[in-house]
Amino acid sequence: MSYFTEENSEAAVINRLGDDVDPRFRQIMESAVKHLHGFVKEVEPTMDEWFQAIQFLTATGKMCDDKRQEWILASDTLGVSMLVDAINHRRPDGATENTVLGPFHVSGAPVRALGENICLDGKGAPCVVSGTVTDENGAPIAGAKVDVWQTNDEGFYDVQQPGVQPDMNMRGLFTTDESGHYHYTTVKPLPYSIPTDGPVGELLVAMGRHAMRPAHIHYIVSAPGYETLVTHIFPKGDPYLDSDAVFGVKESLIVDFVDEGGSTSARFDVKLKKVG
Ligand code: BEZ
Ligand code: FE
């Protein structure tokens, strides 16, 4: 074996992998080394640029704790989260499409009766969202769980404003009735900015990008025997549909929010894919 050179760099590192390394881990590490060295050879960073990259990675790690995950935000804004999501949730035509979970889901949302209001702070005009949960062929799924959450009328999640918003504001867990139907009351969601007070915010500015997400309501829909669906709905006409900071928009998830003079209504039908 020759010593490390610019030319043999990938092989020099890959050849050090031990004989007993797990095959899947070997595949991942070989590919990571190949692409990383390929990237470095393509851009030929200066020592200053390389150190700037190290500082970004360090700052991103330091920003992470049990409440804030700057690494996931980096993955989201570079389109990696949506790519991993797409690879892992290939669905047949007709089944509802997945999108990113995002960092603001809270488990244990209040269990609510159909029609109940998830808006606990009294801000904003009412909006009723309804629909059905069916299988891919349109057969109703009774007893499906529909977990929804969104920002309030000022564009913030309850967990971003502890002590300001009531706990569990704009969250609810609904169960479909015998005909697979659900409906709940909320307020029309607003576009909002992802957190920009960390290194990912600085990176977006440096890349000439904004940090806005189009308005949306998050859903997790589950039923025994079906793949759990993690998705959002987006109001048609939102100014950020074409430039979502985390690339979460899909055509099939854009929904008409109909103005009904002081209130709004929207319909979102869900088709779940059978497991297997
Ligand atoms: C969200 O939808 O809440 C979200 C998703 C990805 C990054 C930040 C926020
Ligand atoms: Fe969100």
Task: Output the residue whose Cα is nearest ligand 1's atom 4.
Answer: 102
Ligand 1 and 56: CB distance under 6 A: no
What pLDDT is recorded for position 66? 82
Residue 19 inside a domain? The answer is no
Q: What six digits make up the tokens of 183?
A: 């409906």
Below-50 pLDDT ranges, the chain: none
Residue 71 inside a domain? The answer is no
| Kind and range of the H or E run holding 203 | helix 199-206
Q: Which domain holds residue 260?
A: 81-272
Tens-place pLDDT, residues 95-146:
999 999 999 999 999 999 999 999 999 999 899 999 999 999 999 999 999 9
* Number of domains the chain is built from: 1
Residue 133 inside a domain? The answer is yes
Residue 48 inside a domain? The answer is no
Specify the 3-state DSSP secondary structure of 20: coil
Ligand 1 and 103: CB distance under 6 A: yes
Ligand 1 and 200: CB distance under 6 A: no
- Nearest 5°: phi and psi at 187? -125, 155
What pLDDT is recorded for position 1? 61
Work out which ligand 1 atom sits closest to the CA atom of 102.
Answer: 5
Ligand 1 and 246: CB distance under 6 A: yes
Ligand 1 and 213: CB distance under 6 A: yes
Domain of residue 96, CATH code:
2.60.130.10
Of 177, 168, 174, the residue nearest 146 (C-alpha):
174
Ligand 1 and 82: CB distance under 6 A: no
Work out which ligand 1 atom sits closest to the CA atom of 73.
Answer: 7
- What is the Å distance from ligand 1's center to 192 Cα? 9
Q: What six digits make up the tokens of 31?
A: 């590919």
Residue 43 inside a domain? The answer is no
- Amino acid (1-letter code) at residue 147: D
CA of 116: how far to CAs of 1, 133, 146, 173, 263, in Å? 70, 18, 13, 10, 15
- What is the Å distance from ligand 1's center to 70 Cα? 11
Of 222, 246, 48, 258, the residue nearest 145 (C-alpha):
222
Q: What six digits make up the tokens of 65?
A: 């704790």
Sheet with 229-235, side-by-side order of all strands:
171-175, 145-149, 217-222, 229-235, 254-255
Residue 53 inside a domain? The answer is no
Residue 153 inside a domain? The answer is yes
Residue 55 inside a domain? The answer is no
